[in-house]
Amino acid sequence: MRSFTSSPQTAAAAFTGPVIELSSSSSSNNNSPASSSAVPSPASSSTLSSPMSGRGGSLCGEKKKEIILIGGSLGKRTMIKKHLQAYFPGVQEVWVSPHDLYRNATTMSSQAGVSGGFPGKTYAVAGSQQAGCGIVDYSGVLDCLEKDLITRSRTSDILGVVPMLDGFVPFADRICAALGLHSCGNNPLTSDHRTDKALMQRCLASKGLRHCESRSFTSADQALEWKRPSRDSPLVVKPANSGGCDGVCVCVTDEDLRDAFDDNMYRVNAERLTNEKMVVQEYLGALQEQPPVRAGLRRKRSKPGDGCEDPDSSSSGAPAEATESSRPCFEFIVNTVSVDGHHLLSDIWRGTPKAKLGSTECLYDIQESVPWSECPREVVDYAFAVLDATGVRNGAAHTEIMLRGDDVCLIEVNARVAGEVRGDLLRRATPQQQSFDQLYWLLLSPHKTLGVSTRDADISSRV
């Protein structure tokens, strides 16, 4: 397992030239380290060349340099545009929305419609249609978009492809592989490991890491059969590939579970994808009130149904010994940027989950920015182990982890940038903390290795 634990100046050097690995530890079945409980200060470093560092200058001469953004909100697009204007004035953003393409049948450069109907407009309507839901088929849209991007690469120097939503992570991996952008994409054959909320837990199990027992089902009857033999504790039911609090339910009774399936199966979710299956997991939640979060930089966030480990976790892989529900329970958000399997820690957030059984309401709405010195070392080490296990070797990641006592467990990992957190506000509010702008480092990683100049290499002084 590889990790970056560095100061802003050392991290800047990592992406200015060779990638610098400041600490290294091997993975094991026990993800709790034997060393100190806090993330250490910069230590002696060893260097490892970036896979693209030997390419020197621009590959395409006078071609215009572009970065492709797939999906996402207007707010995120605006943030990236400001970053490019401030730090990379020679690079333009190209925002493509498969959702708009689906509706309008138009790619970036041409009409995608053909005689006989546009394949992306196809709906495989659910049999009953009781709720008027159908399976949205984006395959034709993405095929057209892939051809358009390949055509565009002949006249433009595409530096990177950045997915802004979880639903487009597999497509971004596929495009990066097609364009040979090895510094920003991951293996397209394992994209599901980073998007399917049940499969990512099985990836951890295969590596001997702490994980949450999870299964995917297409009906409530199947889920109840899995539940009845050995489980009396509540269960979490959520879409396999949605985000936020969309469709997440904490189910106490069989009726709760059936309602969760009835309300969400074959519904178009927040990622604009159709729920073709639901993930059922052990309930991970502290039932008692948690200590209040101290004052600091805070932001709203919604993630219901997730908390720390319940005593019923016999098959979850290395469960904690203590079973009392009174131990403090915190959710940590670990934001990172990776290059060739080496991970840069950008910022950490902490919140206290508020469990509301039988409800789809958010369990918490506050997160505080946490300095590295206050983050338990095992959380960061575990986060990097999760990235390795799920195949995150390049690009941004937003990893959600629950900690109760010394028990660390994954909620989910998202191979994309975090939500709309402004890096300038983060640096203003926490000037003494080690917090980086994740979006800046994501944009910087391919550009520095391709010789694109920046206006300022030290972001710690910019606002």
- Residue-wise pLDDT for 427-462, tens only, equals 555 554 444 567 777 776 654 444 333 333 333 322
Provide the pLDDT for residue 91.
86
Residue 441: strand, helix, or coil? helix
Using one digit for the tens of pLDDT, what is the confidence trace for 223-270? 988 876 556 678 888 888 887 777 788 888 888 889 989 989 988 887
Provide the pLDDT for residue 102.
59
What are the structural domains of the chain? 56-190 (3.40.50)
- Rounded CA-CA distance 37/342 in Å is 22
CB atoms within 10 A of CB 34: 8
- Rounded CA-CA distance 80/239 in Å is 29
List Cβ neighbours of 142 (8 Å cut-off, separation of 6 or more): 98, 120, 171
To which residue do tokens 């206290």 refer?
352
Cα-flanking dihedrals φ and ψ of residue 51, to 5°?
A: -65, -15
- Rounded CA-CA distance 38/420 in Å is 27
pLDDT, one tens digit for every residue, the chain (463 residues):
343 333 333 333 333 333 222 222 333 444 433 333 333 322 222 222 222 223 333 444 578 888 888 887 777 777 778 878 887 888 888 888 776 665 555 544 444 433 334 333 332 222 233 333 444 566 677 888 888 888 889 888 998 898 888 888 999 999 999 998 877 889 999 999 999 999 999 999 999 999 988 899 999 999 988 876 556 678 888 888 887 777 788 888 888 889 989 989 988 887 777 888 999 988 776 554 444 444 333 333 334 334 333 333 334 444 444 444 456 778 899 999 998 899 988 888 888 765 455 555 555 567 788 887 788 899 999 999 999 999 999 999 999 998 877 889 999 999 988 876 555 555 555 554 444 567 777 776 654 444 333 333 333 322 2
Q: Where are the beta strands (DSSP E) in 90-133?
A: 91-96, 123-125
- Rounded CA-CA distance 84/279 in Å is 38
Provide the pLDDT for residue 62.
74
Q: In DSSP terms, which residues pair with 38 in a beta bridge?
A: 376
- Rounded CA-CA distance 348/234 in Å is 29
- b/e map 66-101, b = 16+ CB within 10 Å: bbbbbbbeeebbebbeebbeebbeebebbbbbbbeb
Q: How buried is 259 (Cβ within 10 angstroms: 0-12 exposed, 13-18 middle, 19+ buried)?
A: middle
- b/e map 329-358, b = 16+ CB within 10 Å: bbbbbbbbbbbbbbbbbbbbbbbbbbbeee
